[in-house]
Amino acid sequence: MAYVAARGGEQAIAAAEELHTTLNGPLSAMLVRSIERHLPYLVDRVMGEGSLYAPDLAALALAQTGGDLYEAVLLLRAYRSTQPRIAYALPVRQSELRTVRRISAAFKDIPGGQILGPSLDYSHRLLRLDVLEGQEAGSGRQEAGSGRQEAESGRQEAGSGRQEAGGKEAGRRTQEEAGWLPSSELEVTDSSPRVLVQSPAASSLPSAACPLPPVSCLLPPPTLPAVADWQRENGLLAQLPERDPCDPSALPDVTREPISFPAPRAHRLQSLARADTGGVLALGYASMRGYGMSHPTVNELRLGYAEVTLRHPVTGIAFSAGRVRVSQAEIVDTGAGAPGDTPLRLGFTATIGWNEVKTIAGAMLDLEMSAPNPHPAHQEEFVLYHTEPVESSGFCIHYKLPHYVTFGSALDNLRKAAKTGETP
């Protein structure tokens, strides 16, 4: 009986999967490429929470799950667990990031300039209904009166900011710079003569995002000094420790050892980098809205590319294995600290992929978690455990599993207690 029934269970699983596949349509390499190319922010979010930089795999995960984010993240994480760790990249400094967007809310102007970069921040959030009628949205810049135009002018600004920064540093940009983008990474398309394409991350810069003259497009995004460095020079922020960041392979790794509290700083930042965007936002928003710091300020927000630099195992020579999209946010707390503290304290979150909401909220939570007596919802253990996307979503959906043994066990008690109440 049970043997047949066991097979029944397996047949039910197969049938359920098949129905899901039927409803979602067939998987194809073209669909995956299309997701990777046209939904870069979604791909970034999945890569960040999946803690695996692999745009094609993230796109595949999205296609395979029909866009169910938590399922896609789980797919990527499960794949990640099968991969051995073969090398450790060298640390990346903020001032080495190829930055496409960098803003500071703390100062009107900062060394290196404010760069609006690719952003919808100042776009009018109007649905482009004309697209449904067959209009091409990519040509929005030429179309009068469209919300897209606003966005485009934002990009124009960004472009000029970038150009300006480029101009300032032009002297230092020589041969080395010219080789930054190998010709194989330049893609020629019909719509735009030259597009800044940087595989595999390139798809995040749509062709229209490059209003600069073609030659400028060939230049890499600028590297910019960190606002925090200026603040450190001026005694506003605590100095960094003298020594270099240690051997990366000796850093505590939250994917290879369990977290315990108080967590090493590396564990905290790794956990935030992998955290659920929505979860971090919910807890971070609680802090912003009134359960936390009085005066957080976005010190610096950056989107850019980080060089993944490895050392050759034999020669020891450092070389670049590629570039990854990264984002990071620094928040400073201007509320009064303890006596003897520097005037400002810094909260930080970085993640792979471009995800502004998560890094801003995460940086606020980083500050909160370090505060002397944080709100219970902002204690380190509370924040880090409950913003784990795979664990929280997995546990939530596990309640769909049968619980009739435990439920029956509880009923046994409740019935007897009720009986005791009836006949004292």
Partner 1 sequence: MTLADLAHPRQDYSYGFLDAFARRELRRRILKAIAIPGYQVPYASRELPIARGWGTGGLQATLSVVGPQDVVKVIDQGADDSVNAANLRRFIARMTGVETTTDTTKATIIQSRHRIPEERMDKGQLLVLQVPDPEPLRHVQPDSSQAREMHADADYAQMWLSLYEQLVRFGRFMQGASYPVIVNGRYLMSPSPIPRWDTPALHQSAHLTILSAGREKRLYAVPPFTDVRPIEFSDVFFQVEDQAGRVCTLTGAGQKYMDELPQPGGESRFRISDTGYVEKLLKMAQGEPTKIGPTYYDDAGQFWMPGVIKVGA
Region binding partner 1 by CB under 8 A among candidate stretches 60-68, 117-125, 254-262, 305-313: 254-262
Closer CB to partner 1, residue 243 or residue 398? 398
- Cβ distance to partner 1 smaller for residue 241 or 408: 408
258 binds partner 1 (CB under 8 A): yes
Nearer to partner 1, 13 or 131 (CB): 13
CB of 77 or CB of 155, closer to partner 1: 77
Residue among 290 and 421 whose Cβ is closer to partner 1: 421
Supply angle C-alpha 221, 147, 69, rounded to 5. Answer: 70
Question: Least CB distance from residue 34 to partner 1, whole Å?
Answer: 25
* Binding of partner 1 by 390 (CB under 8 A): yes
Beta bridge partners of 307: 323
CB-based contacts of 238, cutoff 8 Å, min separation 6: 232, 342, 345, 346
Nearest approach, Cβ of residue 387 and partner 1 (Å): 14
Q: For the window 11-40, what string marks contact with partner 1 as x by the rule CB under 8 A?
A: -xx---------------------------
C-beta of 258 vs 339, nearer to partner 1: 258
User: Which of 295, 400 has the CB closer to partner 1?
Assistant: 400
State the Cα–Cα distance between residues 50 and 420, nearest whole angstrom: 52
Distance of CA 280 to the CA centre of its chain: 11
Shortest approach of partner 1 to residue 20 CB, angstroms?
Answer: 14
Burial of 322 (0-12, 13-18, 19+ CB in 10 A): middle
Question: What is the footprint of partner 1 within residues 46-85 (CB under 8 A)?
Answer: 74-75, 77-78, 80-82, 84
404 is a contact residue toward partner 1 (CB under 8 A)? yes
CB of 422 to partner 1, least distance (A): 11
Q: Does 256 bind partner 1 (CB under 8 A)?
A: yes
Closest separation in Å from C-beta 75 to partner 1: 8
336 is a site residue for partner 1 (CB under 8 A): no
Q: Is 175 one of the binding residues for partner 1 (CB under 8 A)?
A: no
* DSSP β-bridge partners for residue 300: 330
Contact window for partner 1 (CB under 8 A) among 2-10, 166-174, 187-195, 340-348: 2-10
Asked if 9 interacts with partner 1 (CB under 8 A), we say yes
Q: Which of the ranges 90-98, 118-126, 159-167, 413-421 carries the binding residues for partner 1, by CB under 8 A?
A: 413-421
> Would you say 149 and 141 are in contact if contact means Cβ atoms under 8 Å apart?
yes
Interface with partner 1 (CB under 8 A): 1-3, 5-6, 8-10, 12-13, 74-75, 77-78, 80-82, 84, 255-262, 379, 381, 385, 390-391, 393-398, 401-406, 408-414, 416-417, 420-421
